Amino acid sequence: MENINKIFYDNLNQLLKQTSDWPCEYLFKFIVKSDEKKIKIIESIFDNIGAIIKKKHSSNNNYTSISVNVIMNESKDVIEKYKEVSNKVSDAILL
């Protein structure tokens, strides 16, 4: 699994480098079970960096989608944020 994650993040890093001029605005998207603790963890990861965070609950309120719009300095910073979320909220879906 570790090797699959490395390949995924390497590919994402290359794609981000090819398609964006850094620094730039980046939109992170996550889906988590509607657990206030998990939502707060994700919000805290983007705290104090000028992020605009929007949350939307699913129709049955079981899941919450979180959109985070923020200026990132380079592609590796995006990767680090995705890794931090996946390490702290293991069942978060990264989009």
Task: Please report the DSSP string for 36-88 in residue order.
Answer: HHHHHHHHHHTTTTT-EEEEEE-TTSSEEEEEEEEEESSHHHHHHHHHHHHHH
Residue 1: the pLDDT is 54
At 90 the pLDDT is: 87
Give how many domains the chain has, as a whole number: 1
**pLDDT averages per 10-residue partition of the chain, 95 residues:** 78 93 96 96 96 96 97 96 94 93
Domain interval for residue 77: 2-94
CATH code for the domain in which residue 77 is found: 3.30.70.260
